[in-house]
Amino acid sequence: MTENVIYNANDSVSNDNPGTFKLKVDKTDKGYKQLITGMEMTPRQKFDLNDSYESVGTGDSTALDGAWKMVKTYWVKGTDTSYSTGTEFKTYFSGYVIWGHTYKDSLNKTHTGIGFGKFTLTGNKVKESMSASTYSEVRGHDFDIDIEMSGSDGFTQTMNNADSSRSVEMYERLKK
């Protein structure tokens, strides 16, 4: 199997062209194991990655299941709207959600963050219960998010914040 990595970020460094890797994947009774040999994330630093995974999840699927890339984001507070740039990928599958993003602050320094947890979709509302994150204010918290689907390949999420502002993010489904 070949893995084409489309984006890679680590702390204050991001890379839009990080590479392609050959994977050896074997199914196990509880999931699968994979081996990637000769990975090179930085010049002249090669390593092998050997992982084992156990299947988890509800087995249920939703309209959100899949991999998504954020294409637009902005904040609204009162009559003010602030647009932001950054890169975010989000994946929903079988009751779980994971996301990773990078953004630049006012000093043009790049920051990277991730989050992982469970989700439930009921009508046009998703609840993300984040069990892990690089952000302490996200880790261990639930987030109620309004979702508006744009066909099967797009959605807009809106989060109402405690300060009466709201953040809006638009996503497109990643294609094979």
Strand, helix or coil for residue 89: strand
The better pLDDT of the pair 108, 76 is held by 76
The better pLDDT of the pair 27, 11 is held by 27
Mean pLDDT, the chain, whole residue set: 89
- Domains of the chain, first to last: 2-54 (no CATH), 66-173 (2.40.128.490)
- The reported pLDDT for the residue numbered 140 is 95
Virtual CA dihedral for 4, 74, 159, 6, nearest 10 degrees? 0
- The reported pLDDT for the residue numbered 5 is 72
Inform me whether the pLDDT recorded for 128 exceeds 70.
yes
The Cα 132–Cα 9 span in angstroms is 18
pLDDT digits (tens, 9 = 90+) for 79-105: 999 998 889 999 999 999 999 998 888
- Do β-strands 2-5 and 19-27 pair in parallel, antiparallel, or remain unpaired? antiparallel
- Residue 20, both tokens: 């392609």
Confidence of residue 45 (pLDDT cuts 50, 70, 90): confident
Radius of gyration of the chain (CA): 18
- Do β-strands 66-77 and 166-173 pair in parallel, antiparallel, or remain unpaired? antiparallel
DSSP letter for each residue of 46-57: EEEEEEEEE--S
